[in-house]
Structure 1
Amino acid sequence: MTDKDNYGLFIAEYGKALPALRAFLRQLLPTWFDVDEVIQETSMVLWKKFDQFEPGSSFSAWASMVARFEVLKYRRKKSRDRHVFSDATLELLAEECLNMEDQLSEQRLSLKTCVAKLEQKQQDLLIQSYSRDLSIKELAENEGRSPGSLYKVLDRLRIKLMQCVKENGAPSHG
């Protein structure tokens, strides 16, 4: 296989695995900034070690294992921060996250379907509220609402999405 073929295969597999990988890392790390940092390192390691990946096996599972080690390395660098889990706690969380991946994947697919059923303005509001760029206060100002009013609207949307996901038969978490 040529380097060009390898690159194409890597990009295809990585692209499919990235949303689940980000979700996995977010459960192990306290902030999206931390997730972005570890994603960068994980991406480089995955590419460097792509020749060790066994075609036909789960790229997502392999990427999660690599990411798990990158989280440990990242944690060591940030070990002076008092908001860091112990290695044992992190291992338990990582195991649980990996065990729940199929269920979470089904839930993400169901949620994506449910979000698509919302009006475009509602979808945009949800996306903006979960982005890293705006606080609820800033978003409320942009929408011409009070923060309290925006929280109520978002709460109603979350309830609507939760009901839709349940109706679509996606397994519930927990």
Structure 2
Amino acid sequence: MENFVDETTRQATRQWTLAQPAVSAFISSVVRDFRDRDDVLQNVAVAVVESFHAYDSNSPFIPWALGIARRQVGLYWRRRGRDPLVFDDDAVACLAIAFHEEAQTRSAKFDFLQDCLGSFDGRAKKLLGLRYRDDMKPAAIASETGMTANSVAKALQRIRDQLRACIERKSLEASVP
């Protein structure tokens, strides 16, 4: 079977997949009706793919996508007419900036998570793989490893606590100039 997706569309889709949670959260913050939110988000996705040729790959993608979302939200509000809770353009711009900054923080924490996961070996690495890669529950992991379900659950909790502490430590180290 032929592949009908060109490389540009593939790249746009990859970038959109990473940006979509931040864009969706931004839209949700300024559009109250959930059906309208879905419509606006869909319009943003289409606009991102259609205008991806204009995207400068040397620039961060999320702010670019949020810019398109700002324009789509503006179009939505103009089509909808007057609403007593409509944000002005400056408020929408501030929200877009805040969502971009939050997305950057989450992206950095994901990078820290990858680093922290690399520090585990042996039993901890096996337990993490069984739980999160293979999506096994503690009882199934217990059968696989010869541990009790309770000891698996406790070990996973300790590992998650260690991961959280590692991510927080790396975040603090990164924020110190």
User: 1:73 and 1:91 mapped to 2: Cα distance?
Assistant: 14
Q: Tell me which residue corresponds to 1:53.
A: 55
1:106/1:79 CA distance change after superposition, 3 Å: farther
User: 1:81 and 1:51 mapped to 2: Cα distance?
Assistant: 34
What TM-score results when the alignment is normalised by the length of structure 2? 0.54
Q: Tell me which residue corresponds to 1:100.
A: 102
**Kept in 1: contact 2:24–2:41 (CA 8 A):** yes
Deviation at 1:52, TM superposition (A): 0.6
Residue 97 of structure 1 aligns with an amino acid whose one-letter code is F
1:23/1:57 CA distance change after superposition, 3 Å: same
SS state at 1:100 partner: helix
What TM-score results when the alignment is normalised by the length of structure 1? 0.55
Q: Tell me which residue corresponds to 2:168.
A: 169
**Kept in 2: contact 1:27–1:97 (CA 8 A):** no
Runs of 4+ in 1 over 3 A off after TM superposition: 104-110, 164-168
Deviation at 1:58, TM superposition (A): 2.0
SS state at 2:6 partner: helix
User: Percent identity, aligned pairs only?
Assistant: 22
**Kept in 1: contact 2:43–2:72 (CA 8 A):** yes
SS state at 1:96 partner: helix
Residue 84 of structure 2 aligns with an amino acid whose one-letter code is R
**Kept in 1: contact 2:25–2:99 (CA 8 A):** no
Q: Tell me which residue corresponds to 1:76.
A: 78
1:109/1:55 CA distance change after superposition, 3 Å: closer
Cα root mean square deviation, aligned? 3.8
Unmatched 5+ stretches in structure 2: 118-131, 138-160, 172-177
Instruction: Return the index of the structure with the highest Cα Rg.
Output: 2
Q: Tell me which residue corresponds to 1:30.
A: 32
* 1:6 paired to 2:8: yes
Residue 37 of structure 1 aligns with an amino acid whose one-letter code is D
Q: Tell me which residue corresponds to 1:86.
A: 88
Unmatched 5+ stretches in structure 1: 121-163
